[in-house]
Amino acid sequence: MTHAAQIRIDLDSATPVNRQIVDHLRTLLVDGVVAPDDILPSVRRLAIDLGVHFNTVADAYRTLAEEGWLEISHGRGVRVRKRRAPRPDEETLAIFRRRLRQLVAEMRAQGLSSAAVVRELASLMEVVKS
């Protein structure tokens, strides 16, 4: 699979490597780059490709399996599942709104206009529509 080449980790980041792997894979899943029934690299293969400990990759895969994205079978690899998105609760929506507000505020502080923010959000939604 070439998806491993699309995962970029920053060992100097404050974000833990396992979280970076989860975030990158989740983006590939949501964007449809990785589709149901695709086979992902084994834990050891991805760990070698990324230059990280295999437990780090195993933890990331477990997180995505718990979210319903992956099916992990010992000896048979890691397969992407067709996932039904759960209905978000009020707390989840509140967290999303707070994070989105923070990101928009950061971009506005960097000089991005309100119109540009709206264009970027609309463009992103076109990509992730399912």
Q: How far apart are CA 15 and CA 13, in angstroms?
A: 5
Same domain, 73 and 99: no
Domain assignment present for residue 85? The answer is no
Domain assignment present for residue 76? The answer is yes
Domain assignment present for residue 58? The answer is yes
Same domain, 103 and 76: no
Domain assignment present for residue 95? The answer is yes
Specify the DSSP class assigned to residue 111: T
Which contiguous run of DSSP H or E holds residue 40?
Answer: strand 39-40
Which contiguous run of DSSP H or E holds residue 72?
Answer: strand 70-73
Show the domain range for 71. 3-80
Q: Tell which residue, 59, 48, 45, has the closest CA to residue 16.
A: 59
Same domain, 14 and 55: yes
Tens of each residue's pLDDT in the chain, 130 residues: 455 558 889 989 999 999 999 999 999 998 888 999 999 999 999 999 999 999 999 999 999 999 999 999 887 789 999 988 778 899 999 999 999 999 999 999 999 999 999 999 898 888 777 5
Question: Full-prediction pTM beyond 0.75?
Answer: no
Domain assignment present for residue 100? The answer is yes
Domain assignment present for residue 59? The answer is yes
Pair of tokens at residue 77: 């690899």
